[in-house]
Every structure is written in structure tokens, then in C-alpha cells.
């Protein structure tokens, strides 16, 4: 099988020859620690795992992501507004005023390069009068040319390259909760859902229309295998908003995406949310979502119990407690064996670390953990 076939066969409850070996991805601080613990700085960690474990490099292949195409264009100017007491206060690319440790810089706000704590002082949309500062930056048209073009020739060239890669091709988009939170902030968004629900609905509808047009432009030209939705919307014990709010404000967008995906035969619709997600999974299933991750154990998620409750309506990837991987030895082994064999018996599961791999997971511990996964997934 090709990596694409293997990935899809696994998550669609079919018959893969082996399950993809996707143990999890390190952040910058993790790699820094690993380089001090035996990982050669000139060797990619997956190449090193392949060599040390004696498994083919393609075991670690599964999916590749198209370039990000849903962001605002143009972005706001990134600039440092103040430097005080070991922190930068910056205007980030989204227009928010954000504070981070001066150990980092504002490039760490662009993507999850590391485990970085931030504080938000102000968001670009405080009220309805601010909305036009944002809305004009989301032109979905393919006809726009020049520096504000969303679909450059280089984008389509990269799409063609990835489509030919023999891996599953994915498109990533912010869910409506995530996106509205970037515009107005977490607490203001939750208050708006009570005090000004019409404005929340207007912004969610705007995001739905914009993303549908952009996504269909891609689907007309590219074979896409999965839509990956970023929607962190849960704390350690509960969802950040009630199920009723999720159905009212978010589900219309989820369902509209599902209808479009189905019309283009896109088989996987994958939801990424940290935190305790059990009360959200039924809403996702109602919306056509058929896969989710990372299933954080520390938040009280029990992936084995989820399988008993939701059956084959939901596939998963992740689900291995990062704390047990860090502990290593029998603790790690017990955690992997708690999760993997029961779910493998039914399919629809790719095991991996239940979030980005943190630096307290040493390189030797990560190698041992990956070796056990390689044995269970059929690569050793």
C-alpha cells in the first residue's frame, strides 16, 4: 500500500496492511533537549528513528498538508510596541496586542513552533464598528491578482507536488469558534454569545461563506483526502461553551463544510480540539465529522470508553498519555497497551502522543515508545 492508502484505510475502518507509525511531533524546545540527549543535530528525528529501529522511512508517512490559504490578506504589521520586565508587547499579524516572554519573539505567534505562554491585551474587533477592519481582509475570490492574491501560481504548483506525493492530502482551516476567538478574544466571544448573539451569528456566517468559497476553489482542482479543523474549545473538565451554544453558533458551519466535502468525495473530516471533548463528540458526529484528535488523557478523555460509546461513528489519532511516555519503562508500556490493542481490534485508530511532544519526554524514552508502537503497528 502507499502511505495515502494506508492512512485512509486505517481511519476509515478498512483493512490496511499496517497502521501508519505516527508517534507525535516535537516542538523546538523538545528538539533542543533531544540534541543534548543523543539525536544528531544534522539528522531529522524521523530519519534517526528509522535508522535506530530498523523500520522503513515510509512507515512514518501518512498525510501532507496544503499551504495555508484561509488567512487574512493582507495581515497586520508585526511590530514590537514595548519591551519591559522580560516581556515583549507586540502587535501580531492578526491585529491583536499580545505579550510574550522575550525568550521568544513575535514569530512564535505565527505558528505553534514551541510551547509558548502568551497574554492578550486587546483584540482587533471590540464591537461592530471594528468589524470592517477585519472583513475586507478576507476576499475569497480567485480573480484577485497582485500582492493580495490568495491563489498564487506557487500555491497551485505546491498542490500538484503534494498530490503526487503518495500521501493523503489535507487542507487545514480554523473552526468558527477558533476564528471568532482570534477576532474578538475568548472572554468577549463568550459574553457576546449571551449579550449580542446576532453579531456572533453574523461573524460565524461570514466565516462560513468565506471558507466555503475558498475550499470549493481548491476542491475543483485538487484531490483532497481530509479537511483538518482546528477548534480548541475545551478546558480540562468541560467544553468552553455549552453544547447548546455549539449547536447554535458553530454547527451550521460544520454542516455546511460536510455537505461540500461529501459533494467532492472527501472521505475524512477531522476535528482537532484539546481538553475534555466527550460532550462535544456527539455534536461533531451530528455534523458529519468522522475523526478527531488529540484525545488528551490529562483532560479526562478515555479513548477506550469513547470507542465503546460512539463505536465506528468516530475514528481517532493520538490518545497516548504524554505523561506516561515521559515516565518511560513499564508506565509507558502499560499506557500504550491500555489503549492500542482494544482499538486496533476494531480499526479507525492511529496511536500517537496526545498533543505536541513536550521536552520532558527524553530522546531515549521517545525511541523506546516508538519501538513499541512499531511492534504493535506491524513495522517490527
Burial of 171 (0-12, 13-18, 19+ CB in 10 A): buried
Q: What is the pTM of this model?
A: 0.96
Please report which confidence band the pLDDT of residue 107 belongs to, taking 50, 70 and 90 as the band edges.
confident
Do the Cβ atoms of 55 and 48 come closer than 8 Å? no
Please report which confidence band the pLDDT of residue 110 belongs to, taking 50, 70 and 90 as the band edges.
confident
* Number of CB atoms found within 10 A of residue 319's CB: 28
Task: Tell me the HSE value of 259 on the side-chain side, using a 13 A CA sphere.
Answer: 9
Tell me which residue of 55, 63, 31, 113 sits closest to 370, measured CA to CA: 55
Please report which confidence band the pLDDT of residue 148 belongs to, taking 50, 70 and 90 as the band edges.
confident
Burial of 111 (0-12, 13-18, 19+ CB in 10 A): exposed
Q: What is the pLDDT of residues 246-301, one digit of tens each?
A: 999 999 999 999 999 999 999 999 999 999 999 999 999 999 999 999 999 999 99
Pairing of strands 97-101, 79-84: unpaired
* Rounded-to-integer distance, Cα 46 and Cα 57, Å: 7
Please report which confidence band the pLDDT of residue 145 belongs to, taking 50, 70 and 90 as the band edges.
confident
- Give me the domains of the chain, ranges plus CATH numbers: 3-71+125-377 (3.20.20.210), 77-123 (no CATH)
What was the pLDDT predicted at 284?
98
Region 145-165: what's the mean pLDDT? Answer: 92
> Does the pLDDT of residue 158 top 90, yes or no?
yes
Amino acid at each position: 500500500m502507499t502511505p495515502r492508502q494506508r492512512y485512509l484505510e486505517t481511519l476509515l475502518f478498512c483493512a490496511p496492511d499496517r497502521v501508519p507509525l505516527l508517534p507525535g511531533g516535537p516542538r523546538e524546545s523538545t528538539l533542543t533537549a533531544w540534541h543534548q540527549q543523543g539525536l544528531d543535530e544534522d539528522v531529522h528525528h524521523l530519519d534517526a528513528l528509522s535508522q535506530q529501529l530498523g523500520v522503513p522511512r515510509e512507515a512514518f508517512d501518512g498525510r501532507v498538508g496544503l499551504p495555508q490559504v484561509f488567512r487574512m490578506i493582507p495581515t497586520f504589521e508585526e511590530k514590537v510596541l514595548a519591551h519591559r520586565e522580560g516581556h515583549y508587547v507586540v502587535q501580531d499579524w492578526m491585529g491583536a496586542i499580545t505579550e510574550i516572554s522575550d525568550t521568544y519573539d513575535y514569530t512564535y505567534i505565527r505558528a505553534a513552533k514551541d510551547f509558548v505562554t502568551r497574554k492578550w491585551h486587546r483584540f482587533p474587533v471590540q464591537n461592530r464598528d471594528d468589524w470592517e477592519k477585519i472583513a475586507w481582509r478576507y476576499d475569497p475570490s480567485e480573480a484577485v491578482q497582485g500582492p493580495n492574491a490568495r491563489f498564487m501560481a506557487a500555491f497551485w504548483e505546491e498542490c500538484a507536488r503534494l498530490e503526487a506525493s503518495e500521501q493523503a492530502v489535507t487542507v487545514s482551516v480554523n473552526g468558527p469558534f477558533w476564528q471568532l476567538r482570534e477576532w474578538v478574544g475568548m472572554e468577549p466571544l463568550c459574553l457576546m454569545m449571551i449579550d449580542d448573539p446576532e453579531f456572533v451569528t453574523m461573524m460565524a456566517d461570514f466565516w462560513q461563506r468565506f471558507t466555503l468559497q475558498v475550499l470549493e476553489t481548491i476542491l475543483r482542482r485538487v484531490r483532497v483526502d481530509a479537511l483538518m479543523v482546528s477548534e480548541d474549545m475545551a478546558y480540562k473538565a468541560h467544553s468552553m461553551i455549552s453544547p447548546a451554544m455549539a449547536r447554535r453558533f458553530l454547527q451550521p458551519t460544520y454542516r455546511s463544510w460536510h455537505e461540500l466535502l461529501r459533494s467532492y468525495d472527501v472521505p475524512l473530516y477531522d476535528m482537532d480540539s484539546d481538553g475534555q471533548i466527550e460532550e462535544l463528540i456527539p455534536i461533531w458526529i451530528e455534523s458529519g465529522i468522522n475523526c478527531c484528535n488529540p484525545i488528551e488523557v490529562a483532560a479526562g478523555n478515555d479513548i477506550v470508553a469513547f470507542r465503546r460509546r460512539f463505536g465506528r461513528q468516530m475514528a481517532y489519532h493520538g490518545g497516548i498519555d504524554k505523561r506516561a511516555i515521559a515516565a518511560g519503562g513499564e508506565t509507558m508500556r502499560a499506557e500504550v497497551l491500555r489503549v492500542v490493542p482494544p482499538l486496533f481490534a476494531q480499526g479507525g485508530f492511529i496511536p500517537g502522543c496526545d498533543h505536541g511532544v513536550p521536552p520532558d519526554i527524553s530522546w531515549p524514552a521517545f525511541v523506546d515508545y516508538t519501538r513499541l508502537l512499531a511492534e504493535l503497528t506491524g513495522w517490527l
